[in-house]
Amino acid sequence: MPARSALRFSSRLTALLAGVMLAGAALAHGDVTPQAVDTHELPSLGDGWRDQNPFRGNDTAIKIGSSAYNQNCARCHGLEAISGGIAPDLR
């Protein structure tokens, strides 16, 4: 009987460890506070919907967006949105 008890304990321990590992993977991205992004240099857009990106070709917007991506996203999604496999490629 001691062997059966040890086997049962081992099975339960394995199940517990698998559950802990899966829970950790599920929470890996959810509790992240992004770095603040200073957008005070960008013009106000108002409330209306736009069909096109109003910041296209705006060098200031590109600089701010690149900095924000590098601070908040590049760690997982890779430089220039080219993933190294940790998170989805954003291209």
DSSP 25-67: HHTTTTT--PPP---TTSPP--SS--SS-TTTT-HHHHHHHHH
pLDDT recorded at residue 34: 82
Within this chain, do residues 81 and 68 fall inside the same structural domain, yes or no?
A: yes
- Average pLDDT value for residue range 60-73: 92
Percent of the chain with pLDDT over 70: 66
pLDDT in tens, 18-60: 665 555 554 555 667 888 999 999 999 989 999 999 999 999 9
Name the residue with higher pLDDT: 4 or 49: 49
Within this chain, do residues 12 and 40 fall inside the same structural domain, yes or no?
A: no
How many domains would you assign to the chain? Answer: 2
Domain that holds residue 3: 1-31
pLDDT recorded at residue 78: 87
Within this chain, do residues 38 and 59 fall inside the same structural domain, yes or no?
A: yes
